[in-house]
Amino acid sequence: MSEAVPVLEMKGISKRFPGVQALSAVDFRLFAGEVHSVMGQNGAGKSTLIKVLTGVHPADSGRILLEGNEIRPSSPLDAQKLGISTVYQEVNLCPNLSVAENICLGRDGSEAYGIRWGRMRRKAEALLADLNVRVDVTAPLSSYSIALQQMCAIARSLSARSRILILDEPTSSLAEDEVKMLFSVVRRLKAQGLAILFITHFIDQTFEISDRITVLRNGLLVGEYPVSALSRMELITRMVGREIEEGGPARARARDAGLPAQAAGGVPSAGNGARTATPFLSASGLGRRGSVRGVDLQVTCGESLGIGGLLGSGRTEIARLLFGIDRAEEGTILVEGRPAEIASPVEAILRGIGFCPEDRKLEGVIGDLSLRENIILALQTKRGVFRNLSRTRQEEIASSYIKALGIKAGDAEMPIAQLSGGNQQKALLARWMATDPRMLILDEPTRGIDVAAKVEIMRQVMELCDKGMAVIFISAEMDEVVRYSNRVAVMRDRRKVGEIESREADEHAVFQIIAGGQT
Amino acid sequence: MRAPSLGVEAVPQPLRRVMRKRIFWPLATLALLLLFSLATNPHFFAVTIRDGHLYGSLVDILNRASPLMIIAMGLTLVIATHGIDISVGAVVAISAAVAATLIGGELVLSGAHVPRFPLPVVVLGALAVATLFGMWNGVLVSLVGMQPIVATLILLVAGRGVAQLITSGQIITIYYSPYFLIGNGFVLGIPFSLFIVAAVLAVLAFLARRTALGLFIEAIGLNPIAARFTGIRARSITFWVYAVCGLCAGIAGLIVSSNVKSADGNNAGLLLELDAILAVVLGGTSLSGGRFTLLGSVVGALIIQTLTTTIYSVGVAPEVTLVVKALVVFVVSILQSDRVRNRIAALGQIGEAAP
């Protein structure tokens, strides 16, 4: 294949944003009939590369050759006309319109002067049939699964002229069988000779679908590898740029072996000695209409409680009740043995509880505030409006956490929205660390961030836990839940269906409880 | 080569730092307007002392702008929370009506006029009523969860009715001369209303920047959900911000009624809410909430008043003044947008590169 002429060649692409060199002299090539993954941590330059290719940003220097001819796409529409089709992470379609309308309207000019419904329906059916999808195209798009909506987006983006299909994290909101469905479509398109550029955070999927992998790091090209020549470990090492233990520190097992929970730092594990007799927080019969029912939980200082369960099982709802975002209608919460009515987040914060929410963008960071302001915000609310932190003190706090957590930012006055996802998540952790919490609730703290940031974040949290902080760790990744907890509470259908010691558990044990109740 | 979109880089470093300041563009606009006025009227900047008081166009602009400056400051906080208060004009009328009623409108032909209540009661009573109406808005927005424009529209409509109810549908003329100090008096040669403006600015700026209130307000305006998740008492802060806005409108109502020596429920503060919104926007606070500048809004109010005064002093025919005003506002608003600014900066850069 290497003698063949690539469909697309990007040579020496550089792009600078204020304060960041997003890409420097990156080469990339794409052959017909291959799936090529671009891997890298957050901030590696993947998105920038795609945006240069699709004409969202012009490159500062470098050339793009499509089938040997130099192109300068000036907008995504322009790129589409040149044969570069893109399907973005979020499905950018109209859920209330029919499948046929979503696929056909505005796609080419043929509906500009009146719609012929029959023709449009047949066209949509034909386009979907190319992807081996057969559905009723007159039904609204929202009546189908996200996976099918993705296929519609693909069908819409492809045209006779398409040479390249860019799939930007298409699987991030798909269930496993839906991923399979999507991949069969991808393979079919590949067989038809389309060049496919695939971006994902999931390492397993990369290995499953790709022919070649290009790795980027800090805006630099690390290398291009045939997938057969690369092991998982090698890929991760190249993305991170240093050796890491895959998955980071495991909690329960390290305890068992009498080892520190972290490889780095050499902080001795406090082990069970740090657990005090009364739990820091205990909830019994906790419930609320439309939320969870009858949940009993206990977390002790120095202990990490995992909450596992499938999507919609009530994991996040528990966190919302404990943090006072929703008010509990039934049950009681005891904090350090005393009854506590937690009716608002600020009451939870005053009791020493912190909460990193699931949706970082909507519930976590305040994008237009600076990194400094985002970090000191929770500490400031804990102190109250009138005990203002001086500017100097704020800068001290911010810079100390930026250093301790390795947050990569031009300076602390940058709007936090300009930081990568992993760095934003670190800043949120810093926000709560600054309040010196007794208990930290983490809801999907590792979602959508790169491996290195994930390991760093969990190392910090586990270190705090060893120093006596209680942790509630919520994640959809069952192996992560088991790894980062001492005990796992298992949720199903908005009820707690069991609890298991992590040292005895693996993800299968958790799934077994979900499938059959308490073992 | 395509011109870089961030053309600000063409400008030398120290100047660039000044240009980044939020207050730079409003101040530049004001300076330009004043220079234009000076060009058309060489005596525009002249300030003379008559009877121990300062007189001149500049003093006049400051004095006339004071109700607008005060309202704009209160409204700035509301807008920073991603809200809006279009009832401020009506609250001005209510405050004026309460003050006038508490003073009492009987004309006394001989001897000094005796008010129904002492002056402190008059002032505090009017301000208390205005604050209460601000709180009413605050309850509707923060507790009931109504959209701010709808919530305050209610008071915009009802407020004038309330004002007329208070004055029994009459225009009350005020004869009590100590009251005239507020909007017409001078202290140390300077209009008394400017001391009020300074006091309001000082108190609000202290609250906004020396306490965490400013940060919390910005956080609420930018991302209310994240703000709540971080423990900010968004509801209570929003409530108080509307209350303060009502209070500011109340203060403006006292100045206005004292200035015209009467309270007219129908016309006092009419359309003032629109000028106030404009002042906030011209001052550099975005209507979509978040970052705000109190000083900017003060400058914004001065821009509006300077414009009005200039148009009259240049001798534009009264029937076209509004059109001229609209044109200037249009140009200034366009200049405020980042996109246009970057274009202009980019043009400057090409110009530099050419020779």
Give the chain A residue whose CA is nearest to the CA of B2. A58
Distance CA B131, CA B128 (A): 5
Q: Residue A232: how many CB atoms within 10 A of its CB?
A: 12
Does residue A102 contact residue A94 with C-beta atoms inside 8 Å? yes
Does residue A165 contact residue A85 with C-beta atoms inside 8 Å? yes
Mapped onto helix, strand or coil, the DSSP state of residue A23 is: strand
The least confident of A243-247, A473-477, B85-89, B302-306 is A243-247
Does the structure show a pLDDT above 60 at A254? no
- Chain B neighbours among A 297-336 (CB < 8 Å)? 323, 325
**Least CB–CB distance from A385: residue in B2, B213, B291:** B213
The least confident of A215-229, A412-426, B164-178, B328-342 is B328-342
- Mean model confidence pLDDT for chain B: 86
Across the interface, whether the CB atoms of A363 and B229 are under 8 A apart is answered yes
DSSP state string for B89-133: HHHHHHHHHHHHHHH-----SSS----SS-HHHHHHHHHHHHHHH
Name which residue leads in pLDDT, B49 or A448: B49
Q: Which residues of B touch A349 (CB under 8 A)?
A: 231
What amino acid occupies position A392? T
Distance CA B262, CA B97 (A): 9
The least confident of A93-102, A323-332, A496-505, B338-347 is B338-347
* Mean pLDDT across A233-241: 74
Distance CA B73, CA B292 (A): 10
Helix (H) / strand (E) element for A297: namely: strand A295-299
Predicted local distance difference test score (pLDDT) of residue B136: 96
Helix (H) / strand (E) element for A316: namely: helix A315-322
User: What CATH code is assigned to A8-240?
Assistant: 3.40.50.300
* Mean pLDDT across A61-65: 91
Which pLDDT band holds residue A274 (cuts at 50, 70, 90)? Answer: very low
**Least CB–CB distance from B211: residue in A364, A368, A386:** A386
Give the chain A residue whose CA is nearest to the CA of B232. A381
What the block records as the tokens of B239 is 């409530």
- In Å, what is the CA distance from B75 to each residue of A253, A286, A301, B89, B128? 58, 43, 47, 11, 18
DSSP state, residue B49? E
Predicted local distance difference test score (pLDDT) of residue A76: 84
DSSP state, residue A340? -
Q: How far is A395 from chain B (nearest CA, A)?
A: 15
Predicted local distance difference test score (pLDDT) of residue A3: 54
Predicted local distance difference test score (pLDDT) of residue B111: 63
Size of interface A-B (CB pairs under 8 A): 75
Q: How far is A490 from chain B (nearest CA, A)?
A: 25
Does the structure show a pLDDT above 60 at A32? yes
Which pLDDT band holds residue A264 (cuts at 50, 70, 90)? Answer: very low
Which pLDDT band holds residue B79 (cuts at 50, 70, 90)? Answer: very high
pLDDT digits (tens, 9 = 90+) for B126-162: 999 999 999 999 999 999 989 999 999 999 999 999 9
Predicted local distance difference test score (pLDDT) of residue A268: 36
Closest CA to B219 of B142, B138, B290, B147: B290
What the block records as the tokens of B345 is 């900066």
Sorted by sequence, the CB contacts under 8 Å of residue A321 that are 6+ apart come out as A283, A286, A288, A291, A292, A295, A327, A328
Does residue B303 contact residue B29 with C-beta atoms inside 8 Å? yes
Closest CA to A481 of A504, A502, A460: A502
Specify which residues A225 forms β-bridges with: A213
Does the structure show a pLDDT above 50 at A519? no
From-to residues of CATH 3.40.50.300 in chain A: 8-240, 244-352+439-519
Predicted local distance difference test score (pLDDT) of residue A258: 40
Predicted local distance difference test score (pLDDT) of residue B112: 67
* Mean pLDDT across A208-236: 87
Does the structure show a pLDDT above 50 at A245? no
Q: Does A388 touch chain B (CB under 8 A)?
A: yes
Q: Which residues of A touch B232 (CB under 8 A)?
A: 346, 377, 381
pLDDT digits (tens, 9 = 90+) for A463-509: 999 988 999 999 877 778 888 899 999 887 778 888 888 887 777 77
Distance CA B240, CA B246 (A): 10
Indicate the pairing of strand A495-501 with strand A487-492: antiparallel
Closest CA to A365 of A427, A422, A420: A427
Distance CA A511, CA A365 (A): 33
Q: Which residues of B touch A343 (CB under 8 A)?
A: none
Q: How far is A63 from chain B (nearest CA, A)?
A: 13
Give the chain B residue whose CA is nearest to the CA of A378. B230
Across the interface, whether the CB atoms of A378 and B230 are under 8 A apart is answered yes
* Mean pLDDT across A328-342: 89
Predicted local distance difference test score (pLDDT) of residue A518: 42
Which pLDDT band holds residue B1 (cuts at 50, 70, 90)? Answer: very low
- Residue B225 region by backbone torsions, left for phi larger than 0, else alpha for psi between -120 and 50, else beta: alpha
Closest CA to B304 of B321, B286, B287, B318: B321
**Least CB–CB distance from A346: residue in B211, B213, B231:** B231
Closest CA to A461 of A475, A448, A282: A475
The angle that helices A451-466 and A232-240 make with each other, rounded to 10 degrees, is 80
What the block records as the tokens of B312 is 């009259």
- Residue A63 region by backbone torsions, left for phi larger than 0, else alpha for psi between -120 and 50, else beta: beta
pLDDT digits (tens, 9 = 90+) for B5-50: 444 455 566 666 666 677 888 898 899 889 988 888 888 888 888 8
Sorted by sequence, the CB contacts under 8 Å of residue A126 that are 6+ apart come out as none
Predicted local distance difference test score (pLDDT) of residue B36: 87
Q: Which residues of B touch A364 (CB under 8 A)?
A: 226, 229
pLDDT digits (tens, 9 = 90+) for B171-226: 888 888 888 889 888 898 889 999 999 999 999 999 999 999 999 999 999 999 99
Predicted local distance difference test score (pLDDT) of residue B8: 45
Backbone angles phi, psi at A70, to 5 degrees: -70, 135
Fold of A244-352+439-519: Rossmann fold (3.40.50)
- In Å, what is the CA distance from B134 to each residue of A61, B91, B98, B231, B240? 56, 8, 15, 25, 8
Predicted local distance difference test score (pLDDT) of residue B141: 95
* Mean pLDDT across A299-323: 86
Distance CA B299, CA B293 (A): 10
The full set of domains in chain B, from first to last, is 57-318 (1.10.3470)
Q: Does A345 touch chain B (CB under 8 A)?
A: yes
Q: How many CA atoms lie within 13 A of B40 on its CB side?
A: 13
Q: How far is B336 from chain A (nearest CA, A)?
A: 18
What amino acid occupies position A193? G
Distance CA B290, CA B222 (A): 5
The gap between the terminal CA atoms of chain A, to the nearest Å, is 53
Distance CA B300, CA B305 (A): 9
The least confident of A265-279, A283-297, B163-177, B219-233 is A265-279
Instruction: Select, from the ranges A37-46, A126-135, B200-209, the one with the highest average predicted confidence (pLDDT).
Output: B200-209
Does residue A384 contact residue A360 with C-beta atoms inside 8 Å? no
pLDDT digits (tens, 9 = 90+) for A170-190: 876 676 677 888 898 899 889
* Mean pLDDT across A383-396: 91
**Least CB–CB distance from A381: residue in B218, B223, B231:** B231
> Which sign, positive or negative, has the C-alpha torsion B303, B308, B311, B317?
positive
Distance CA A401, CA A410 (A): 14
Predicted local distance difference test score (pLDDT) of residue A126: 87
Chain mean position to CA A442:
14
Q: Does A357 touch chain B (CB under 8 A)?
A: yes
Backbone angles phi, psi at A205, to 5 degrees: -65, -35
Q: Which residues of B touch A362 (CB under 8 A)?
A: 223, 225-226
Predicted local distance difference test score (pLDDT) of residue A145: 77
Q: Which of A381, A393, A413 to mutate to probe the B interface, most B CBs <10 Å? A: A381
Q: How many CA atoms lie within 13 A of B242 on its CB side?
A: 28
pLDDT digits (tens, 9 = 90+) for B237-255: 999 999 999 999 999 999 9
Sorted by sequence, the CB contacts under 8 Å of residue A170 that are 6+ apart come out as A87, A89, A150, A182, A198, A200
- Chain A neighbours among B 288-327 (CB < 8 Å)? 290-291
Predicted local distance difference test score (pLDDT) of residue B97: 93
Indicate the pairing of strand A487-492 with strand A304-309: parallel
The least confident of A144-148, A276-280, B204-208 is A276-280
Predicted complex ipTM: 0.82
Mapped onto helix, strand or coil, the DSSP state of residue B243 is: helix
Does residue B301 contact residue B72 with C-beta atoms inside 8 Å? yes
Q: Which of B230, B240, B338 to mutate to probe the A interface, most A CBs <10 Å? A: B230
**Least CB–CB distance from B226: residue in A362, A382, A389:** A362
Helix (H) / strand (E) element for B149: namely: helix B148-166
Predicted local distance difference test score (pLDDT) of residue B155: 94
* Mean pLDDT across A335-349: 90
Sorted by sequence, the CB contacts under 8 Å of residue B92 that are 6+ apart come out as B67, B71, B249, B250, B252, B253, B256, B268, B269, B272
What amino acid occupies position B323? V
DSSP state string for A251-279: HHHHHHTT--S-SSTTPPP-GGGG--SS-
* Mean pLDDT across B52-57: 84
Instruction: Select, from the ranges A108-112, A215-219, A276-280, the one with the highest average predicted confidence (pLDDT).
Output: A215-219
What the block records as the tokens of B5 is 């979109």
* Residue written as token pair 């189908």: A144
Does the structure show a pLDDT above 90 at A513? no
Q: How far is A323 from chain B (nearest CA, A)?
A: 9
CA angle A396, A402, A405 (to 5 degrees): 130
**Least CB–CB distance from A366: residue in B211, B213, B226:** B226
Which pLDDT band holds residue B262 (cuts at 50, 70, 90)? Answer: confident
Predicted local distance difference test score (pLDDT) of residue B348: 60
- Mean model confidence pLDDT for chain A: 83
Q: Does A382 touch chain B (CB under 8 A)?
A: yes
Q: Does A203 touch chain B (CB under 8 A)?
A: no
Mapped onto helix, strand or coil, the DSSP state of residue B172 is: strand
Predicted local distance difference test score (pLDDT) of residue B305: 92
